[in-house]
Amino acid sequence: MPYFDAASAAPLHPVARQALLAALDEGWADPARLYREGRRARLLLDAAREAAADAVGCRPDELVFTSSGTTAVHAGVAGALSGRRRVGSHLALSAVEHSSVLHAAAAHEAAGGTVTQVPVGRSGAVDPEGYAGALRDGTALACLQSANHEVGTEQPVAEVAALCAEAGVPLLVDAAQSLGWGPVAGGWSLLTASAHKWGGPAGVGLLAVRKGVRFAPQGPAGERESGRAPGFENLPAIVAAAASLRAVRDEAAAEAVRLRAMVDRIRTVVAERVGDVEVVGDPERRLPHLVTFSCLYVDGETLLHELDRHGFSVSSGSSCTSSTLEPSHVLKAMGVLSEGNVRVSLPMGTAEVDVDRFLEVVPGVVAEVRERLGAPVSAPPSPAPARSLVVDALGRRCPIPVIELAKVIGEVPVGATVTVLADDEAARLDIPAWCEMREQEYVGEEPADRGSAYVVRRLS
Amino acid sequence: MPYFDAASAAPLHPVARQALLAALDEGWADPARLYREGRRARLLLDAAREAAADAVGCRPDELVFTSSGTTAVHAGVAGALSGRRRVGSHLALSAVEHSSVLHAAAAHEAAGGTVTQVPVGRSGAVDPEGYAGALRDGTALACLQSANHEVGTEQPVAEVAALCAEAGVPLLVDAAQSLGWGPVAGGWSLLTASAHKWGGPAGVGLLAVRKGVRFAPQGPAGERESGRAPGFENLPAIVAAAASLRAVRDEAAAEAVRLRAMVDRIRTVVAERVGDVEVVGDPERRLPHLVTFSCLYVDGETLLHELDRHGFSVSSGSSCTSSTLEPSHVLKAMGVLSEGNVRVSLPMGTAEVDVDRFLEVVPGVVAEVRERLGAPVSAPPSPAPARSLVVDALGRRCPIPVIELAKVIGEVPVGATVTVLADDEAARLDIPAWCEMREQEYVGEEPADRGSAYVVRRLS
């Protein structure tokens, strides 16, 4: 049963499992104690810290283990901001950071700080010049992910780090999605990561803070992990995390080549066979194992459900998934289509035959969902006499408003407009994206009694 | 090799190990996802929550899993204080709480709140009337442990909870040391616990918040665990924690009888065979498995080291352990001897033969350490002519100042004084404690050029 959602949680690596089992026997005691079980636990903890620091590219005393990637981000952002509060309270970050970074930024803002979101281009990457502009006086910290978790685009971390260094601003890099593939290049000041993203166990994050970076841990004091991560060390999981990071790194170069080729095939074949699809994210500067595409006229939840029925576990940043009604902030910031969104992230070791089968199944599944929703199958029908049309999609959820638009666009003459009335939040994103894909003109959004009126001019 | 430090970390229960292994295979995926691996993880998480809530005595939707007992305490204290900030910012807690509670209180104080520490008696228990006095207007929260982690004394939680209810103040109970033995009686509002204290894995804490208790989670927002515990759920460990809590509870009644008898023997035999020893904590209202005693004229670190050499892993709240130079705040608050302190906490399943061997070994080890330090072995020598004496113990660490005092007390006539000059912080606690044990009069402390002068009058 192919599981293609490694970016959410990678299956446990065999080395992680072995190390965890061994450490359950050897590393359950308190490493702060002086008796033999404590000393043994301390040795394991020290060895794990050395291995993890080696993989990160920092000194062991610069690295602490936290209880998750999220807590590493929260502790790192809060500690760095507080350490530099005399400089100012401005935080610069990209618009496509992981929610843990955005939540930390929101908490900073709620406490009186200021935040600048650096925009991204259509590929999902920031322009380093965008950071240069955001690093104004009083900037305490900048944050940039190493690679995006939804579309796989790699960020220009080294360039941004150089700009930050020039401005004297520390850069925190959220390396959650990339650390298993290799160390983060460039002169970062703080780095965070999450073990269950590379095949380690849940319950372990990393926070590295370079010597010389001002850092003031927030929250109640703690004796563990240099006062940077409260609570008893989750030692067996830490040992497993460090061991699996090393193991994964040994396999990374070969796996990257293999998975990159599979993802290239998915990018090509989906674009060819599915039709009315937008493959998003940078095609070159990207994570080896991750690809995201959005299918017009399809709702993400049904699509995921159908793929699950066919045995494929994939994820979605679509607004139509049940966990949230908000369209993905990443796709929104990129200005790409969000409806019918599918993220495929291949775990290491993925068999090519499973990708083959996925590529056989996807076109049919998308077509079936489209048919069920009454979406247009091929080119729009021949033009009808009406000069302009209003479509009422009020109360209808994504992807219905776009489907209704597509159904009638052929009925107005070139130059005339279709106005879609919709109150679904995703329409604001998806109607302009559809226009861009279909080379129609998106005239704009007007207020309406209920929801908004989205005006589209037929160009061809 | 007998491990007698269950109060720091209990060895992993076999059921925890089994459940962890099973959940590594079944529960590694994201429980928020809709595909089969996610649904399976969600089922495991729901079942674990139900089992844990059942053991705690609350509803499943009142309980969240945190990354440790410490983070449960930090989140619980901060959330409850913030939820009631319109009422006031006063926090009442006992003087013998775990450091995680004290650190949360210190953070509250640093942020402008006020804190009252309710004193304890010589047994380590609070007087409920002490809480009644502390629950003044503007009290947002009260905290009380279910049982003390250093001396095992059970606190009058039900009585204090009733007083809190009367005053309309929520009570947070830190049940870390007792939850494996049974649910906490009385009308508590919030409860925290730690899985590795009952034989579950590290990396899991519990926070229960009764419906109707005002609670505002602090720190960056999170989607997991009702927004009360950030980060990806540590699911395999959560499953193991819940399963082992149930298993431990099944064994608790029988084990409590067995271990209580062993601890009674330790209390009796140590007092008889070691001599110059104070067995601390309530002899009746106590945890079944924990006993603490302090040995005069011995330093804790050497004692722990020697016991370790003989194969016994025990802990110490003594000021002489390497991890801290401060005497234990618990022993200090109780006003008992802190030097040569040993905490024995028996894991479930402890074999009686290991306790026998411990009782054979301890008297010899203590005697040997005393001899090495030149401590008085038996009754003090016959009185000498000097009317009063000054002993210079400046720069000497615990237990030397007390040893020097004991050596010379017999040299002054009854009614005369010995003045000990000392700059070791432990002397302030241990010289009065020695006086109480030896029925000599502690006259008081006077400032000196360096350190302090402790004046003792010989009474017998």
Give the pLDDT confidence score for residue B385 in this predicted structure. Answer: 52
User: What is the rounded average pLDDT for all residues in chain A?
Assistant: 92
Contact residues, chain A, for B237 at CB < 8 Å: 202-203, 234, 237
What's the pLDDT tens digit per position in B150-208? Answer: 999 999 999 999 999 999 999 999 999 999 999 999 999 999 999 999 999 999 999 99
Give the pLDDT confidence score for residue A221 in this predicted structure. Answer: 87
Catalytic residue from among B58, B143, B164, B320 = B320
Which CATH number goes with the domain that contains A341? 3.90.1150.10
Give the pLDDT confidence score for residue B338 in this predicted structure. Answer: 84
Give the pLDDT confidence score for residue A318 in this predicted structure. Answer: 60
Give the pLDDT confidence score for residue A324 in this predicted structure. Answer: 56
Give A422's contacts (C-beta < 8 A, 6+ positions apart). Answer: A393, A394, A396, A401, A431, A451, A452, A454
| Beta carbons of B237 and A301 less than 8 Å apart | no
d(CA B389, CA B387): 7
Residue A6 falls inside a structural domain: no
Among B295, B302, B254, B261, smallest CA distance to B278 is for B295
| Beta carbons of A8 and B201 less than 8 Å apart | no
Return the exposure string of B185-196: e unless at least 16 CB atoms fall within 10 Å of the residue's CB, then b.
Answer: ebebbbbbbbbb
Q: What is the average pLDDT across B424-439?
A: 91
Please name the residues between 142 and 201 in chain A that touch chain B, using a CB distance below 8 Å.
Answer: 194, 196, 201
Residues A361 and A397 in one domain: no
CB B418 within 8 A of CB B412: yes
Q: What is the average pLDDT across A222-226?
A: 86
Q: What is the average pLDDT across A93-121?
A: 96
Contact residues, chain A, for B82 at CB < 8 Å: none
Asked if the model's pLDDT at residue B225 lies above 50, the reply is: yes
Q: Report the 10 Å Cβ neighbour count for A119.
A: 14
Give A151's contacts (C-beta < 8 A, 6+ positions apart). Answer: A124, A280, A281, A282, A286, A290, A292, A330, A331, A334, A343
Tokens matching residue B363: 């008297």
Give the domain-ending residue among B313, B340, B373: B373
Three-state SS string across chain B, please? CCECECCCCCCCCHHHHHHHHHHHHHCCCCCCCCCHHHHHHHHHHHHHHHHHHHHHCCCHHHEEEECCHHHHHHHHHHHHHHHCCCCCCEEEEECCCCHHHHHHHHHHHHCCCEEEEECECCCCCECHHHHHHHCCCCEEEEEEECECCCCCEECCHHHHHHHHHHHCCCEEEECCCCCCCCCCCCCCCEEEEEHHHCCCCCCCEEEEECCCCCCCCCCCCCCCHHHCCCCCCCHHHHHHHHHHHHHHHHHHHHHHHHHHHHHHHHHHHHHHHCCCEEEECCCCCECCCEEEEEECCCCHHHHHHHHHHCCCECECCCCCCCCCCCCCHHHHHHCCCCCCEEEEECCCCCCHHHHHHHHHHHHHHHHHHHHHHCCCCCCCCCCCCCCCEEEECCCCCCCHHHHHHHHHHCCCCCCCEEEEEECCCCHHHHHHHHHHHHCCEEEEEEECCCCEEEEEECCC
d(CA A165, CA A163): 5
What's the pLDDT tens digit per position in A6-42? Answer: 999 999 999 999 999 999 988 999 998 989 999 999 9
Q: Which residue of B has its CA nearest to A301?
A: B34
Catalytic residue from among A143, A295, A320, A398 = A320
Residues B62 and B197 in one domain: yes
Residues A86 and A230 in one domain: yes
| Beta carbons of A67 and B231 less than 8 Å apart | yes
Give the domain-ending residue among B219, B248, B277: B248
Q: What is the average pLDDT across A325-335?
A: 85
Residues A107 and A199 in one domain: yes
Give the domain-ending residue among B373, B397, B427: B373
Give the CA diameter of chain A. Answer: 89
Query: In angstroms, what separates the C-alpha of A424 from chain B's closest C-alpha?
Result: 22
Query: In angstroms, what separates the C-alpha of A387 from chain B's closest C-alpha?
Result: 44
Residues B195 and B242 in one domain: yes
| Beta carbons of B24 and A24 less than 8 Å apart | no
Residue A384 falls inside a structural domain: no
What's the pLDDT tens digit per position in A233-273? Answer: 999 999 999 999 999 999 999 999 999 999 999 999 999 99
Give the pLDDT confidence score for residue B215 in this predicted structure. Answer: 97
User: In chain A, pLDDT over 70 holds for what percent of residues?
Assistant: 96
Residue for token pair 């959602």: A5
**With an 8 Å Cβ cutoff, is A37 touching chain B?**
yes
Residues B211 and B268 in one domain: no
User: In chain A, pLDDT over 90 holds for what percent of residues?
Assistant: 79
Which 3 state secondary structure label does DSSP give A91?
strand
- pLDDT higher at A375 or B195: B195
CB A192 within 8 A of CB A206: yes
Contact residues, chain A, for B71 at CB < 8 Å: 67, 230-231
Confidence of residue B384 (pLDDT cuts 50, 70, 90): very low
Confidence of residue A460 (pLDDT cuts 50, 70, 90): confident
Give the pLDDT confidence score for residue B318 in this predicted structure. Answer: 60
Which CATH number goes with the domain that contains B102? 3.40.640.10
Please name the residues between 58 and 77 in chain A that touch chain B, using a CB distance below 8 Å.
Answer: 67-71, 74
Contact residues, chain B, for A221 at CB < 8 Å: 103, 106-107
Contact residues, chain B, for A314 at CB < 8 Å: 35
Contact residues, chain B, for A42 at CB < 8 Å: none
d(CA A293, CA A291): 7
Contact residues, chain A, for B24 at CB < 8 Å: 12, 17, 20, 201
Query: In angstroms, what separates the C-alpha of A337 from chain B's closest C-alpha?
Result: 22
**With an 8 Å Cβ cutoff, is A227 touching chain B?**
no
| Beta carbons of A38 and B313 less than 8 Å apart | yes
CA dihedral A356, A359, A365, A367 (to 10 degrees): -140
Which 3 state secondary structure label does DSSP give A447?
strand
Give the pLDDT confidence score for residue B197 in this predicted structure. Answer: 96
What's the pLDDT tens digit per position in B311-337? Answer: 999 998 764 444 555 678 999 999 998
Residue A379 falls inside a structural domain: no
Residue from the list B68, B107, B221 with its beta carbon closest to the beta carbon of A219: B107
What's the pLDDT tens digit per position in A398-424? Answer: 899 999 999 889 888 888 899 999 998
Q: Is omega for the bond preceding B156 within 30 degrees of 0, making it cis?
A: no
Tokens matching residue A375: 């979406």
Residues B343 and B403 in one domain: no
Residues B189 and B308 in one domain: no
CB B12 within 8 A of CB B199: yes
Residue B313 falls inside a structural domain: yes
Give the pLDDT confidence score for residue A384 in this predicted structure. Answer: 47
Query: In angstroms, what separates the C-alpha of B443 from chain A's closest C-alpha?
Result: 37
Tokens matching residue B191: 């409860």
d(CA B374, CA B391): 15
Residue A382 falls inside a structural domain: no
| Beta carbons of B231 and A103 less than 8 Å apart | no
Give the pLDDT confidence score for residue B221 in this predicted structure. Answer: 87
Residues B243 and B270 in one domain: no
Contact residues, chain A, for B232 at CB < 8 Å: 9, 68-70, 194, 196, 202
Asked if the model's pLDDT at residue A326 lies above 80, the reply is: no
Asked if the model's pLDDT at residue A386 lies above 70, the reply is: no
Residue for token pair 């090495």: B372
Q: Which residue of A has its CA nearest to B69?
A: A231
What's the pLDDT tens digit per position in A313-324? Answer: 999 876 444 455
Tokens matching residue B169: 């103040």
Tell which of A21, A24, A98, A325 to mutate to test the B interface (max B CBs under 10 Å).
Answer: A24
| Beta carbons of B29 and A308 less than 8 Å apart | no
Q: Is the dihedral of CA A11, A13, A18, A20 positive or negative?
A: negative
Sort strands A190-194 and A171-174 into parallel, antiparallel or unpaired.
parallel
Q: What is the average pLDDT across B424-449?
A: 90
Give the pLDDT confidence score for residue B383 in this predicted structure. Answer: 46
Residues B203 and B217 in one domain: yes
CB A303 within 8 A of CB A292: no
| Beta carbons of B36 and A70 less than 8 Å apart | no
Please name the residues between 83 and 112 in chain B that touch chain A, using a CB distance below 8 Å.
Answer: 99-100, 103-104, 106-107
Tokens matching residue B147: 């049982």
Residues A242 and A335 in one domain: no
What's the pLDDT tens digit per position in B66-97? Answer: 999 999 999 999 999 999 999 999 999 999 99
Confidence of residue B379 (pLDDT cuts 50, 70, 90): very low
What's the pLDDT tens digit per position in A164-207? Answer: 999 999 999 999 999 999 999 999 999 999 999 999 999 999 99
Query: In angstroms, what separates the C-alpha of A411 from chain B's closest C-alpha?
Result: 39
> How far from A372 is each of A204, A375, B161, B324, CA to CA, in Å?
44, 8, 59, 69
Residue B2 falls inside a structural domain: no
Confidence of residue B9 (pLDDT cuts 50, 70, 90): very high
Give the pLDDT confidence score for residue B301 in this predicted structure. Answer: 85
Residue from the list A103, A196, A313 with its beta carbon closest to the beta carbon of B36: A313
> How far from A257 is each of A246, A262, A448, B142, CA to CA, in Å?
18, 9, 51, 59
What's the pLDDT tens digit per position in A56-84? Answer: 999 999 999 999 999 999 999 999 999 99
Residue from the list A69, A107, A232 with its beta carbon closest to the beta carbon of B219: A107
Amino acid occupying residue A317: G
- Complex confidence, ipTM: 0.85
Query: In angstroms, what separates the C-alpha of B250 from chain A's closest C-alpha?
Result: 22
CB A258 within 8 A of CB A31: no
Query: In angstroms, what separates the C-alpha of A234 from chain B's closest C-alpha?
Result: 5
User: What spatial distance separates the first Cα and last Cα of chain A, rounded to whole Å?
Assistant: 44
Tell which of B45, B67, B326 to mutate to test the A interface (max A CBs under 10 Å).
Answer: B67
Residue B280 falls inside a structural domain: yes
Residues B408 and B429 in one domain: yes
Give the pLDDT confidence score for residue B324 in this predicted structure. Answer: 56
Number of independent structural domains in chain A: 3
B164 is known as an active-site residue: no
Give the CA diameter of chain B. Answer: 89
**With an 8 Å Cβ cutoff, is B14 touching chain A?**
no
What's the pLDDT tens digit per position in A264-297? Answer: 999 999 999 998 999 999 999 999 999 999 999 8
Q: Which domain holds residue B23?
A: 14-248
Contact residues, chain A, for B67 at CB < 8 Å: 67-68, 71, 203, 231, 234
| Beta carbons of A305 and B67 less than 8 Å apart | no
Sort strands A205-209 and A190-194 into parallel, antiparallel or unpaired.
antiparallel
Which CATH number goes with the domain that contains A445? 3.30.110.40
Sort strands B417-422 and B452-457 into parallel, antiparallel or unpaired.
antiparallel
Among B35, B32, B65, smallest CA distance to B48 is for B65
Query: In angstroms, what separates the C-alpha of A325 from chain B's closest C-alpha?
Result: 14
Contact residues, chain A, for B9 at CB < 8 Å: 28-30, 232
Residue A7 falls inside a structural domain: no
| Beta carbons of A237 and B234 less than 8 Å apart | yes
User: What spatial distance separates the first Cα and last Cα of chain B, rounded to whole Å?
Assistant: 44
Give the pLDDT confidence score for residue A379 in this predicted structure. Answer: 46
